[in-house]
Amino acid sequence: MQFTHIDANNDEQFDPWFGVLQRSEQSRDGEPAQGWHPDEWRARSIDETAPKVFHLYSYGPSRERPVAVGALEVTRDDNLAFIDGNLFVDPAERRRGYGSALLKELEASARELGRPTLVIFVIESSREIGTGPNRAFALHHGYRVAEENVRRDLEWPRPDDELNDLWDTWSPFATDYEIISWTNGTPEEFVEGRAHLSAIMPVETPHVDIDVEAEHWDAARVRLHEATTNQMGRDLLVAAARHRASGELVGYSELTVSREQPQTAYQWDTLVVRSHRGHRLGGLLKVTTMRLLEAGRYPTTKITTFNSMLNGPMIAVNEALGARIAGAMVAWRKDL
């Protein structure tokens, strides 16, 4: 058996890698996969100089015929104490020790990259919340749960007037703030503010057992994020809250939708900085990104979002918007 770091630009290596991932997602969800598309993996796996780049790995008799695949997300400067990863075994090849063998290789690669802790993220469908094969497998290999997230889906479009009613309910709490929005490129005047919010995002959100630090973001990294998202074939629908008195950006929310497969829109970051919480800004930001989705006439049928189970306020906003539980995402941690 061979363990290989594959070249995402080489179709002979990448296509079988993606095939294993796709079959794995399909067997989990019971329907064709809705996860990252090939271009989305490729766009994030080719630039070794990027602040974050995926290393993709195949395990099997040859790299053209993998039975298991994985990825490690290598950060250049951020959060060097751990590394995030994924691992999938072809459904037809499970319980033959391949998952264990690949995990061992991923752990060795993480060590070689100088990362003392490996954090494996796993998505569970609504049918397997808390019971996916990862639960027994990860415990068997000495991992512990670092974080439990719940996935919620919001049917789209919303009933007439629902967004207006929510806006009218929440906006009286936020008179000190202006909500602005844009699609794709951040207006120049907000780029620095946006960079600062992305930098502090990891330390402003609840984490159970992962010691996250702020990330390194500047205007250039915001532009790179926008360019990479565009290369992934996605639009970014962004809302931000500006504190009127100080002029500072104090929150933002990013919804993203694939131009090729717009059925599922994904909620990415939403953040309101601690000192400005309690003004319903989280809900107002989300309503505003949904207005962009409406205006863009995307044929979207659902919006998917993941939240830490500890994030009560964000979950309350999502429930108020009408989102309902549709799965889970668990982060398993091992100190290597």
Ligand X SMILES: CC(C)(COP(=O)(O)OP(=O)(O)OC[C@H]1O[C@@H](n2cnc3c(N)ncnc32)[C@H](O)[C@@H]1OP(=O)(O)O)[C@@H](O)C(=O)NCCC(=O)NCCS
Q: Cα–Cα distance between 10 and 14 in angstroms, integer?
A: 6
Q: Are 290 and 273 within 8 A, CB to CB?
A: no
Least distance between ligand X and beta carbon 161 (Å): 41
Q: Which is nearer to ligand X, 98 or 170 (CB)?
A: 98
Query: Which of 21, 71, 138, 239 lies at the binding interface for ligand X (CB under 6 A)?
Result: 138
Q: Is residue 57 involved in binding ligand X (CB under 6 A)?
A: no
Other beta carbons within 10 angstroms of residue 327's beta carbon come to 21
Least distance between ligand X and beta carbon 50 (Å): 25
What lies within 8 Å, CB to CB, of 112 at 6+ separation is none
Q: Is residue 21 involved in binding ligand X (CB under 6 A)?
A: no
Q: Is 95 left (phi over 0), alpha (psi -120 to 50) or beta?
A: left
Query: Which of 96, 111, 144, 274 lies at the binding interface for ligand X (CB under 6 A)?
Result: 96
Q: Is residue 133 involved in binding ligand X (CB under 6 A)?
A: yes
Q: Given the rule CB under 6 A, which of 7-15, 133-141, 263-271, 318-326 is the region that contacts ligand X?
A: 133-141
Query: Which of 23, 94, 207, 276 lies at the binding interface for ligand X (CB under 6 A)?
Result: 94
Q: Cα–Cα distance between 10 and 254 in angstroms, integer?
A: 31
Query: Which of 57, 190, 252, 332 lies at the binding interface for ligand X (CB under 6 A)?
Result: 332
DSSP, collapsed to helix, strand or coil, labels residue 141 as coil
Least distance between ligand X and beta carbon 244 (Å): 46
Pairing of strands 324-335, 249-258: unpaired
Least distance between ligand X and beta carbon 35 (Å): 11
Q: What is the DSSP string of 290-301?
A: HHHHHHTT----
Q: Is residue 24 involved in binding ligand X (CB under 6 A)?
A: yes
